[in-house]
Amino acid sequence: MDNRGYSQRIADTNRSAADSLGVRLGRYCISRDIPAIEIAGYFGVSKMTIYKWFTGKAEPRKIHAEKISTLLSNGGWVEQ
């Protein structure tokens, strides 16, 4: 699979992670080569937090979860 700008470890962990909102966001971003730093800026969190969401090691807070749900349900990311 083409992981684009993401490391093999992040991509593999994302693929095997239990389904969650952060993991779904990760699958979306990895498949479209949307840089984690852009996503981090959009949500006002660190890049490390984004990686934790993508790999299922952390859950987004409620305010972020709402933005993720909206982003994924409205056709996705529009470059900021």
75 three-class SS = coil
Instruction: Kindly indicate the confidence band of residue 3, based on its pLDDT and cuts at 50, 70 and 90.
Output: low
Which pLDDT tens digit goes with each residue over 20-61? Answer: 999 999 999 999 989 999 999 999 999 999 999 999 999 999
More reliable by pLDDT, 3 or 26? 26
CA distance from start to end of the chain: 27
Per-residue tokens: 60: 């987004």
